[in-house]
Structure 1
Amino acid sequence: MSRLIEMETFAKVVEEGGFTDAAKRMGISKSAVSKHISSLESRLGARLLSRTTRRVNPTEIGLAYYDRASRILNDAGDADALVASLHAQPAGLLNISAATDFGIHELSPLMAGFLGTFPDIAVNLELNDKSLDLIAEGVDVALRTGALQDSTLRARKLLKYPMRLVASPAYLDEAGMPATLADLTEHKLLSASLRPGGDVWHFETEDNTTRSVAVSGELAVNDGQSRLHAAEAGLGIAFLPDFLYADAITEGRLQNAMPNLYPQTQTVYAVYPEGRFTQPKVRAFIDYLVQNLAHR
């Protein structure tokens, strides 16, 4: 006789306070409940239940056994739910938040293929550069760049893309090319914000440390595409991802402003609320991104 069935029967008797109600709850006969309990007590060599004319109560040993048995039964239920979750067809509304530049240039082109692969999923994609409270905002998964803040969110690394200091040939002819990071303070830098402490560029170095440069200049705009256009117009040096600057460099509108700079990268993570199981729609989306961003 299955130990798990005996354990479940015993737990139901304790919870319902008797054999009759436990039998109704389980959808089996009272005699079957009695048989399971007798088998369990015989196997354990201990009396777990104290029977009166009105109610069945657990003995001291029975209470201790019930406490442990309840945990085991909960774990078994979780295991069943996990299999059901992993096996379920991805479906429903998927709320996604992504950084604006990455969302426009890298994520949006993938959405048609994703929706075609998973026709039972509908997507609500919101592009912004704010760090949202995913649970409060009802976001299922967010794509974030750079170092992650400590939190209870789960995270999966998707890719790294190159970053580069770029400027127009005309600007560099007039202002000269910076040879070191310290030289950047003598240049016009295209910032995301000119508010105090609003924008700082962080650079990785060969000795595995980080150098920071406070950004200042005549123009600040919180949109990468706009900073790209400003750099092309000769307004200064921009620090941009490759999916923004690649075509401009190929076509000669921009050039590498510091060729000897140690290679810079930015990491993109998929983050989502922590829970017992990952929703099928979230897992399907993240797996799709991993597969289709693998070429980078």
Structure 2
Amino acid sequence: MSQAYNPRESTARDINNLKRLAYFAEVVEAGSFTAAAARLGITKAVVSQQVAKLEREFETTLLVRTTRSVRPTEAGRAFYERCARILSEAQEAFDGLEGDHGAPTGILRLTAPFDYGIAVVVPAIAEFRRRFPACGADLVISDRTLDPVEKDIELAIRVGWLTDSGLRARRIGSFEQVLVGDPALAADLGEAAGPDRIAGLPFVANSILRDPLGWTFSRGAAEQQAVKLSAVLRIDATLGVLEAVRAGAGVSILPDFAVQQDLAGGRLARLLPHWSLDAGGIYAVTPATRFRPARVAAFLNVLVEWERRRTHAP
């Protein structure tokens, strides 16, 4: 005789399995049971036991364990990708509940590139603190691409062009790349000048870029012109490049958010105003499976507002 269906037992089993999914996904992301346990705030033994139960229940080896690391099997990798989607959707549901009923609290751990971090993220954090005084922030400003999972960061702001990763990314804005220089030089060139006129100008190169000297300018949908510039100075930080241009060392190509105030104040001028360069994206990146506290969504709302104000500024 078959056993009668018990909804309470079924619900308890489903909840336990969901917990095991989260434990398993954390182990894959962290690369070890010890690191996963630290992030989850539980013991290593609990994580190990729950993942082992998952493997026994489905009679499948999900992880290859060695003395130095833990990595997913082929079946484990496929299972992880499905777990990531499930946990991501669950997180969005929790975010919605917290947005309706829970006030953000705690310390927001985030990272941003130096130039965008100084120009936009720092004032956005100040606004975030005014709106949500129960929250604080721990901001790491760095031009190095930090792994949110490895560094235990809740939110990473990325600027430019994203590479594929297992992280969840949301585009929150965009920026223009702008050729800038001394206003007197802009007057000498004139608005009708084309990219061929700048090839001989002293150029301050941003050496963190993949190709800091090769640029393709566009005018309209069909006209393009590639130029190779000559560097008189190379600097590995955007704000350093900006300071060199301000000091008269040469011209350079910089993101609009870095030069916005200098252009508005007349300290710098845009060269070749009728030509444009490829626009880049501004992205909010979070771990794919981690449950996000309400403070992350709250800060992103503030940051998006700042982006809208910046891009619509006169």
- 1:93 equivalent to 2:125? Answer no
Q: CA, structure 1 residues 8+276, in 2 after alignment: closer, same or farther (shift >3 Å)? A: farther
Deviations 1:179-228 (A, max 9, x none): 43344432221111299956654656643898765553111223333323
Is the 8 Å Cα contact of residues 154 and 292 (structure 2) preserved in structure 1? no
**If you compute each CA radius of gyration, which structure gives the higher value, 1 or 2?**
1
- Inter-partner Cα distance in structure 1 for 2:90 and 2:267: 58
Q: CA, structure 1 residues 226+233, in 2 after alignment: closer, same or farther (shift >3 Å)? A: same
- 1:9 equivalent to 2:19? Answer no
- Inter-partner Cα distance in structure 2 for 1:286 and 1:194: 27
Please state how far the C-alpha of 1:263 moved relative to its aligned partner.
6.3
Q: CA, structure 1 residues 112+11, in 2 after alignment: closer, same or farther (shift >3 Å)? A: closer
- Inter-partner Cα distance in structure 2 for 1:10 and 1:229: 64
Deviations 1:245-295 (A, max 9, x none): 334334443222212213653321111111165432222211221233222
- Inter-partner Cα distance in structure 2 for 1:81 and 1:290: 20
Give the equivalent residue in structure 1 for 2:249: 235
- 1:129 equivalent to 2:143? Answer yes
- Inter-partner Cα distance in structure 2 for 1:248 and 1:10: 63
Q: How does 1:1-296 map to 2 (within 5 A)?
A: 6-9=6-9, 84=94, 86-88=96-98, 89=102, 90-171=104-185, 179-193=193-207, 200-201=214-215, 203=217, 206-207=220-221, 215-262=229-276, 265-275=279-289, 277-295=291-309, 296=311
Is the 8 Å Cα contact of residues 192 and 220 (structure 1) preserved in structure 2? yes
TM-score between both structures, scaled by the size of structure 1? 0.63
Q: CA, structure 1 residues 251+153, in 2 after alignment: closer, same or farther (shift >3 Å)? A: same
Q: CA, structure 1 residues 87+194, in 2 after alignment: closer, same or farther (shift >3 Å)? A: closer
Which range is displaced more, 228-237 or 176-185? 176-185
- Inter-partner Cα distance in structure 1 for 2:154 and 2:92: 18
Q: Percent identity?
A: 27
Q: CA, structure 1 residues 187+121, in 2 after alignment: closer, same or farther (shift >3 Å)? A: same
- Inter-partner Cα distance in structure 1 for 2:150 and 2:290: 19
Q: Unaligned stretches of 5+ in structure 2? A: 14-82
TM-score between both structures, scaled by the size of structure 2? 0.60
Q: CA, structure 1 residues 178+10, in 2 after alignment: closer, same or farther (shift >3 Å)? A: closer
Is the 8 Å Cα contact of residues 194 and 220 (structure 1) preserved in structure 2? no
Is the 8 Å Cα contact of residues 190 and 215 (structure 1) preserved in structure 2? no
- Inter-partner Cα distance in structure 2 for 1:81 and 1:237: 46
- Inter-partner Cα distance in structure 1 for 2:96 and 2:209: 47
- Inter-partner Cα distance in structure 1 for 2:121 and 2:11: 50
- Inter-partner Cα distance in structure 1 for 2:229 and 2:286: 32
Q: CA, structure 1 residues 135+212, in 2 after alignment: closer, same or farther (shift >3 Å)? A: farther
- Inter-partner Cα distance in structure 1 for 2:191 and 2:202: 12
Which range is displaced more, 229-238 or 187-196? 187-196
- Inter-partner Cα distance in structure 1 for 2:277 and 2:208: 26
- Inter-partner Cα distance in structure 1 for 2:169 and 2:191: 38
> Which amino acid counterpart does residue 237 of structure 1 have in structure 2?
V
Deviations 1:160-188 (A, max 9, x none): 23332111144457889894334443222
- Inter-partner Cα distance in structure 1 for 2:216 and 2:146: 22
Which range is displaced more, 254-263 or 241-250? 241-250
Q: Unaligned stretches of 5+ in structure 1? A: 14-73
Residues matched between the structures, number: 232
> Which amino acid counterpart does residue 129 of structure 2 have in structure 1?
L
- Inter-partner Cα distance in structure 2 for 1:274 and 1:264: 29
- Inter-partner Cα distance in structure 2 for 1:180 and 1:81: 50
> Which amino acid counterpart does residue 258 of structure 1 have in structure 2?
L
> Which amino acid counterpart does residue 259 of structure 1 have in structure 2?
P
CA RMSD of aligned residues (A): 3.9
Give the equivalent residue in structure 1 for 2:26: none
